[in-house]
Chain A
Amino acid sequence: MSNLFNIDIVNPEQSFLSKDNVFEVVIPAVEGEIGILKDHIPIISFLKPGIIRVFSESEEQSFYVEDGIVEFKDNTLSVLTSSIFDLKNADKNFVSESISSAEAELSKDNIDDQKRFLLNHKVEVLKSISIN
């Protein structure tokens, strides 16, 4: 029996990625990374800034996402996100811009702890991208 399932990543403008031969996807959910295999129970969660890793038979792909919602149901993983890009074509300028804007946001006083945590995390992830 195959252990493959489907993944659909959509952003508001278009369908970003659609595959039917993945065996594992690791998503950066708010409460920690989740690895999803075939026949996972139905789950709904949302994402924090991080890297989605999609393992298919032939290749491994990584995408950076800022936010979004994931739903897993009937062996189909749907990821709804408004900002996503493939790590392979990461735009250096865009990454560094995002880092500086996130850092600027961090230096403000009026943000709550949760937001601070998310922003810190975002900076961390983006920095790790820019190093590679």
Chain B
Amino acid sequence: MPSLDDLRKRITSVKSTQKITKAMKMVAAAKLRKAQENAEKGRPYSEKMNNVILNLSKSITDKENAPKLLVGTGEEKVHLCIVLTADRGLCGGFNTNIIKKAKSYFEKIISENKTLKIITVGSKGYDQLKRQYKSYIVENISFKESKNINYFDADKVGKIIIEKFEKNEFDVCAIFYNKFKNVITQIPQEQQIVPLNEDKDVSGSDNDYEFEPDEDEILSNLLPKNISTQIFKAMLENSASEQGSRMTAMDNATRNAGELVDRLTIEYNRSRQAAITKELIEIISGAESL
């Protein structure tokens, strides 16, 4: 049984941990609000972009000569996976969930004897993947320096992808990130960005657009931008998810610490009382024996 002193020390230590987790929760809550706002503000852009591309791809009749970014290279041998994670830990299952999702995809690719290439964005993902998939990781990008998520960073990633595509380094490209549903739920997502998945709803509007210059030129100009936009969207969703996940994790930690303090306090009081009782009995029995 631990001594009274030990118990007291443990209680103080748990209490100070609780203070830290509580503070982290507050910070995450404040950041979450901002991240959520940003994610919402960023949505119209990617939605509009999607719309335009959808309308454009519908009007393309000559599928053979369509830009490769849209229809693919016709092969499916080399898969490039972009794994977007956070740069910091202590956010519950946030990073692990993305990695888990990505790993199951990796296994599928490897078992089908296709070539796998990985780009990790965010240091946590790299840390978790390097042990098992070191040889597949072609690039590791981290935006630790930039405080806020900005389009410029996303564009950098987008440019790397396009550069690799133009060098024929991959056929299919998928990104992994967490979609922010609400503070408690974040859904790990797998999204294919090259070639673009043809959307299911063919209905849409059948407006006849006038194009200036022609469709092909617009598309080849637009598709690279779309990749950056999709990555930017994923980054925004990810950052909101990260903060939400951290908030929930820290909330749980604070509550657990509270429970632990309660339990330890009871144990402390009990053993203190036991010591007092023991002393009393000793005094009484000593007095009786006189």
Contacts and interface: CB of A to CB of B under 8 A. Distances in A.
Contact of B212 (A11, A12, A13, A29): A29
Contacts of A82: 151, 155, 225
Contact of A71 (B42, B48, B221): B48
B40 to A, nearest CB: 9
Interface in B232-284: 232
B48 to A, nearest CB: 5
A82 B232 CA distance: 12
Q: In this complex, which of A29, A42, A44, A73 has the most chain B Cβ atoms within 10 angstroms of its Cβ?
A: A44
Interface residues of B, number: 30
Contacts of A69: 49, 52, 218, 222, 225
> Which range holds the interface residue count of chain A?
20 to 34
B41 interface: yes
Contact of A46 (B41, B42, B48, B221): B221
Nearest to A30: B213
B192 interface: no
Contacts of B222: 46, 69
Given A12-B232, A14-B38, A43-B211, 14 more contacts: A10-B45, A12-B42, A12-B151, A13-B41, A15-B41, A15-B44, A29-B212, A30-B212, A42-B207, A43-B209, A44-B212, A46-B221, A69-B49, A80-B49
13 contacts: A8-B48, A10-B44, A13-B150, A14-B42, A44-B55, A44-B218, A45-B213, A46-B218, A71-B52, A73-B207, A80-B52, A82-B151, A82-B155
Interface of A: 8, 10-15, 29-31, 34, 41-46, 69, 71, 73, 78, 80, 82
